[in-house]
Structures are given as structure tokens and as C-alpha cells.
Amino acid sequence: MFHTSTSLKNAIKQVEQVVVGKREAIELSFTALLAKGHVLLEDVPGVGKTMMVRAIARSIGAEFKRIQFTPDLLPSDVTGVSIYNQKTEQFEFRPGPVMSNVVLADEINRTSPKTQSALLEALEEGNVTIDGETRPLQSFFFVMATQNPIEYGGTYPLPEAQLDRFLMKLKLGYPSYEEELEVLERVRMNHPIEHVEEVLTIEEILTMQQQVREVYIDDSLKQYIVDIVTATRNHKDVYVGVSPRGSIALMRAAQAHSFLKGRDYIIPDDVKYLAPYVLTHRIHLHPHVELQDHSQEKIIDDILSATKVPVSSSKMVKRG
């Protein structure tokens, strides 16, 4: 356990060399990765999304593919295609980028819903269906999709049901003034991505993903998760609350986060810390509320500061 967390920290350090001052986002990305989840990055272009994903892939020695989603992108451009080889007179499968370990799906909201759903199927099912044939994906598969903020023109917003497929939604945001100076300094000679070392292997990651599932969660914290999720469903401004899939996601994320922090049990802080990233894209507000500048983030914050944290129970004291 100790060893694992050290190598994880090393990996995070490697990525941090490339993306300045985004430790939190990097850690969260690794959390999602360990929880076998995928990340939706919602941000303006040019803040280092691609670099971060590439660095993560590199640090764990994973194969990296990037798909630039455009309005004319076809599903087969994502999943791969069977083409007829005239020499062998057989259909040969050309795997698409999604058959890679780490996939960056750039500007996912700029393509047609048809193509989007091809990717999303891959996210949820862990396999793709091409020409009626189901093909498994890589055993280690991690997608980071980026999305321009909704109000940009020429986009196809992701369907609500499909947003649910991402474990968490992150924002990178602009670096601070000093961080940006640091960015300039780092890229002056050559790009730091070239220096990222491979500190983990895919096999190790797979083992860790397995270990994450073993992280203990106390019943009181399960209740805490359900309390939070239920609160989103009962909130007056919320049109559709978090689904049970969201509860599972929150627990998985918390497990991974505990693991990342070197613990084999979840503490409420994990849940509380992750809830905004895991839950905000899973709730949908009443249209009139959305107009009043009530963001999902604020509602999740409100719910967290109103939900009682389990800190002690009589059973504990009796147990001794």
C-alpha cells in the first residue's frame, strides 16, 4: 500500500511538471482513473487539457490517442472500421482511436449525437459494436473528454443521460499570473512533455484499480452518500436529481481518493471533497432557476453544508 501510493505520487509529480499549478485537477484525474471512471473537462481551449492527458498517459506508460471531434466525424472514426483487404480477400478490422488505453476526446460537443453515442457506449459498456460484432476495449481504458462551455456556437450539447457516464466533471481554469510565468519558463527551450518519465505500468494500474474496490466504507458513510444524493432529488430548484448511478460513482470516487491518499478506508472528507466534481453534472435544474444564475455548483455546496456529517455513533462507544 505504501509503495503504491508513493509511485502514484511520483506519477502525479511527473504530470505536474507539464501542467503548472493544477495539482488538484491532476489528482482528481488519477482518482477517476483508479476508479475506472472517465473525466469530462469543461473548459476553454488552450489551458493545457491535452497536455495533461498526454502527460498522464506517458507517466503510466499507456498508449495515448486523441480524437478531435468535428461535426463531420463518423462513429467509425472513433471505434474503428472493418475494411476489405483485397490481397487477403478478407475484411480486416482497423481499430479506431477508442481502442487505445488513454483517449482524449477533444471538443466532444462539436460532433453529432450519433458519433457522441458511439464513444459513450464505449465508456459505459467497456466494449464497442462494429458491424454487429462486439469488440472489447483495452483492459485499461481511460477517457478524458473535453467540452467547450455550452454557450459557444455550433455545438451539440451532450444529452443529459450521457453526461451521467462521466465519473466527474473537472475544470482546469486559467493559471495564476505566477503560474503562467512559470509555464513560459518551462516551455522556453523545449516542451516538458518530452521529459515525463514512465513511473508506473499499466499492470500496476490495473492492480490498483482492483485494490481500490477493496477500500473499506463504513455504513455511516454510505448513509452520508445517500443523504447527499437524496438531498439533490428533494431540492426545490432541481428538476432531475442524481441517479443511483451517481451514488455508486461517488462511492467509487471516494474509494479511489482514499487509496490515492494512502488509506484503505473512506473518511467523510473524501465524500465531501469529491461530491461537487462527481455530482454537479448529474443534476438538472428547473429552467427558470437556471436563468436566475443558480448554478449546479452552488446547489451542491448548499446541500453539503446542510447535510450532517456522521462523526460518531453510540455503537462505537458500546463496542469497547
Q: Minimum Å distance from CB 211 to another protein?
A: 15
Strands 142-147, 284-285: pairing kind: unpaired
Residue 227 within binding range of another protein, rule CB under 8 A: no
Residues 6+ apart with CB under 8 A from 232: 238, 241, 242, 246, 279, 282, 283, 299, 300, 303
CA atoms within 13 A on the CB side of 205: 27
Residue that the C-alpha cell 473537472 belongs to: 170
Residue 304 within binding range of another protein, rule CB under 8 A: yes
One of 266, 275, 279, 300 touching another protein (CB under 8 A): 266
Q: Minimum Å distance from CB 3 to another protein?
A: 20
The two counts, helices (H) then strands (E), for the chain are 14, 11
Residue 309 within binding range of another protein, rule CB under 8 A: yes
Continuous H helices in the chain: 2-18, 23-34, 49-59, 75-79, 113-125, 160-163, 177-187, 202-213, 219-234, 244-260, 268-279, 287-291, 296-306, 314-319
Pick the closer one to another protein by CB: 102 or 266: 266
Residue 226 within binding range of another protein, rule CB under 8 A: no
Residue 222 within binding range of another protein, rule CB under 8 A: no
One of 272, 284, 286, 294 touching another protein (CB under 8 A): 272
Residue 152 within binding range of another protein, rule CB under 8 A: no
Residue 214 within binding range of another protein, rule CB under 8 A: no
Residue 234 within binding range of another protein, rule CB under 8 A: no
By CB under 8 A, name the binding residues for another protein. Answer: 216, 218, 220-221, 263-269, 272, 304-309, 311-312, 316-317, 319-320
